[in-house]
Structure formats: C-alpha cells, structure tokens
Chains A and B, each alone.
Chain A
C-alpha cells in the first residue's frame, strides 16, 4: 500500500478525465498534417477543411494552439440537454446519458467554448442535470441493501463520487444484517 490514503478509496476525477480524453471527437483542422502514428493509434490525415475524428487529448492540444475548431458531439447542445433535463425531473429513473458525459462536456466547454452555440446555457443545463441526478442517487442511498444496489445509467463521474461511502456502507450492512441461511450452516 504505497498510495496515500486519499487515493486508495477510488480514482480521482482528473484520472477519469484522462481516460475520457481517449474518446474520439470531430474536429475541423486548420492545418494540414499527414497520418501520424501515436501510441494509442494512428490519426489523420488532417486536410482542412475536411472533418476528421481524433482523440480529445489531441483535439484540445490543437485547439489551444488555434489549429482546429471542435465540432461538439451530437448530445452536447441545448435541445438535447433540455430534453434530458425534462426526463430527469419528471421520471424516477436516471435518463440515458453518455457514460463519460461529465468529463467530456467539461473539457470541451473549457477549451472550446467559442465553438458552441450557447456555452453558458449548456453549462447551466449540465449543472441542473447533475443536481437532479444527485438527488436520485441520494434516494438510492436509503434503499441501500447489503447485497446489491442497481442504479442504471449512472455516469462514471457520479459512480466515482459515491463509490467510497456506498461501498463502505454496504460493508457495514453486511456485518449488521444476519443471514438466516448462513447461521443455520454455522450451527
């Protein structure tokens, strides 16, 4: 156990962001580049103004050098998010979102907010969705059980946030709930 205690319970949000950065996003390049091999694969060629799919880490790098425009993913716009927010507030279950939507949305909005139609509106919608979903995961807490808990469509960032204490509480419950079948076997 060489890790400090704060890192043992779960991965940190920045690590999740790194993992999410492997996903592909469409860009409109402003520079030409041949097809190039990276450790994670070969991307390109970049031929402006033809769209190209590259990983998010590469897109952010190019964007910060002002060498591309990022095309927002089809779920990252006001209409789609408004629809999801409506579902989220009217239905009891979690609505379907991309698994790593929180990380991807944050990276793209931070780096390339000028490539979005209404970045501030998107930000506030994402915040509302996040809060609605948090209220639901809190409800899941009261239904917590020692053997299983099913919360479909929970995203990676949300899972990561609740993991440390959900796991621990379930551990405690396992200790407190006496299993009649197990007891008979002991006797």
Chain B
C-alpha cells in the first residue's frame, strides 16, 4: 500500500498489467506484447506492467486506458452494493485492488495532459475507491471477530453462503485487516476466559 521501496505488497501491486496505447514507433520491442512482431507500431495497444507504465507515460511514449477493474461496470456495481463485489476476482495474483487503484490515481496526477484525466475521473475516482473501502470495512471486521469467537470455542464453520462469498472476494489489503482483527479478538477473548486462580 505504501511507497516503501522494500514493501512486498507494493512490488506485487506494480506487477499488474494495464493497457497502454503507444504514440510512437518503438523498434525491437515487439516481444513486450508476447507477439511475433518485431517493432511496436504507433497506436498499437499493448499490455504493460505497471512499473513500466510510469516511464512510458513520463517520456510521453504512450497513453494508458483506465483498466477494467476501475471502469464504469465495476464502478456501478460498487455504487449499488460495495459488499457484494468480489474484489479479489478483479485483479489477479494476490489481488491488491486498492494498491493498483492508488497507483493509477498517482499517474493521473502526474500526467495532466493525459486525455483520461478529465475532471470527472479526477473527482469521482478517488472518492469511489475510499468509499468502497469504508463501506466494506465493518463487514470485514465483523466477520473476523465472528470467526475469532467460534474458532477458539471449537465450533463448526456455520457460515452462510453470503458471508463465505464475501470472504472469498476480499482483496489483499482487506485480508490483512481481517487477520489483524481476528488475532486481536482471539487474544482478548482468551484473556477474558482464562481464570486467575490457575495461573498463580
């Protein structure tokens, strides 16, 4: 999530590919697209990993399109009910949806000439992503605390399909929060249940 050079999460989120449209011919770089073409032609669309997108855009070699996980279809689904969207399916490999969204936000800032960074996107985009987080957070914590309490008392799973689907749809950042909340609730519960006399 952060910009720390050593942060593994940050590196993984940068591995996500997004689609770029090249503005100029690039010789001898056709292998980037995995095709057999020798050169990248101007106006061709290529999937490029995030870490390479920065330099392409700064150097004005390419424009990028807002990737599908942040397009109108997902946006509408999130506005309708943030908790029923499976964020982990939107981005592959570990699923750091928030991390990717933040990086795209940063590029939009840094390339004001870019045609995509019009006012609408600039205003709505950041609002939406943090609203999603805020709308989903209580559910994440609720479930974490619920699971902390049933696991330690040895009960069965006993979860309905809806909560199961929600847990499967958690993004990497939310998973981390889930683990933190569960751990802390479990520790506190254990303390409340331990008796004092046994210890002394």
A binds B: yes
Taking A165-B180, A176-B133 as known contacts, 17 extra A-B pairs with beta carbons closer than 8 A to each other, sorted by chain A number, are A12-B191, A13-B191, A13-B192, A60-B200, A64-B200, A142-B138, A163-B184, A164-B181, A165-B181, A169-B177, A173-B130, A176-B102, A176-B130, A177-B126, A177-B130, A178-B109, A187-B109
Query: Which residues of B pack against A, CB within 8 Å?
Result: 1-2, 98, 101-102, 105, 109, 126, 129-130, 133-134, 137-138, 141-142, 144, 173, 176-177, 180-181, 183-185, 187-188, 190-192, 195-197, 200
A176 in contact with B200 given A12-B187, A138-B142, A144-B137 (CB within 8 Å): no
Bound: A146/B176 CA distance, A: 18
Bound: A183/B106 CA distance, A: 10
> Chain B interface mostly helix, strand, loop or mixed?
helix
> How far, in Å, is B132 (CB) from chain A's closest CB?
9
Which partner residue on chain B sits nearest A16 by CB separation?
A: B191
> How far, in Å, is B190 (CB) from chain A's closest CB?
8
| Count, chain A residues at interface, CB 8 A | 38
Which partner residue on chain B sits nearest A158 by CB separation?
A: B188
A165 in contact with B130 given A106-B192, A171-B1 (CB within 8 Å): no
Bound: A186/B187 CA distance, A: 43
A183:B138 contact, CB within 8 angstroms: no
